[in-house]
Every structure is written in structure tokens, then in C-alpha cells.
Amino acid sequence: MLRFTRGMIALRKRHPSLKRRQFLTGVPAAASELADITWHGKKFGQPAWDDPVSRVLGFTLAAVAPGEAHLHVIMNMSERRQRFSLPATPDISWRLAVDTAAAAPDDIPDPDQQPYLTRAEFEVEAHSLVVLEGEDCGSGCTD
């Protein structure tokens, strides 16, 4: 528990976007072409606010500081594993930062050991949360 808590504190310290003092608006942030926040459901950009049985929610937070990674958070509150579409951003390379369903120490790997994601979808276990960190890599994203 202590290791996980330290990892979450380190994640927050790496991300000024988690320390904002202004309300999120959904319009592009100054440092990015991405909106400051974008909401999602199982499909990217489709949060299904009007679905009373949807038990999934995701959002993408754009980086606000130079060198900061974007964040993509997926919450699966349902009783079963769910497959989620990931942001289709060819200039961003996504890495797995937190997976509350994984056993330690894979639940929150050190930043230099975070696995890169290579698929357009990601499966999230029931009753769990996943955080991805996305780095701008221009047109030269490689795994």
C-alpha cells in the first residue's frame, strides 16, 4: 500500500495538469491541440451520459506544461472486463502508468518501465481504473 501511494504521489507531481486552478472547459489548452479535458465511454469521445446502465467512464487531460505527458484515465465500474477505444492520436505514444487490477509491482510501474501500448483498444478489468501517460512524439512515434 505504501509503494502504491508513493507511486500515485509521484504521478501527481509529474503532472501539473492535475493541479489546475481553473475549471476545465473542454476547449484546447494553450500548450496543446487537445482539449483540456475530453470525456469518453467505451468508445473514444462518446461518454454515453444518457445511458443509465453505463458503468464506464473515461477522460483525457491535456498536458499544460512543456515536457508533461497527457493523461488518459479509464474507469470500469461494471461487473465484467470491458474493452475501450484509445485516443486515435498518431503523434502521441501511450504508456501504461496505473492499472489497479494488476498485481504489485505492475499496478503502478516506475515511469522508465511503463509498457507502451500498441493497439487501438485496451481491456480494463471489472471494478478497476487505468491511467495512461501519453508523450508527444511528433510524426515519429515508435514503440
**Cβ-count burial of 85 within 10 angstroms (0-12 exposed, 13-18 middle, 19+ buried)?**
middle
Nearest-Å Rg of the Cα atoms of the chain is 15
Q: What global pTM score does this model have?
A: 0.89
- Give the chain's domains with CATH numbers: 2-136 (2.60.40.1180)
Interatomic CA distance for residues 42 and 65, integer angstroms? 28
Q: What is the pLDDT of residues 11-57, one digit of tens each?
A: 999 999 999 888 999 988 665 678 999 999 888 888 988 888 889 99
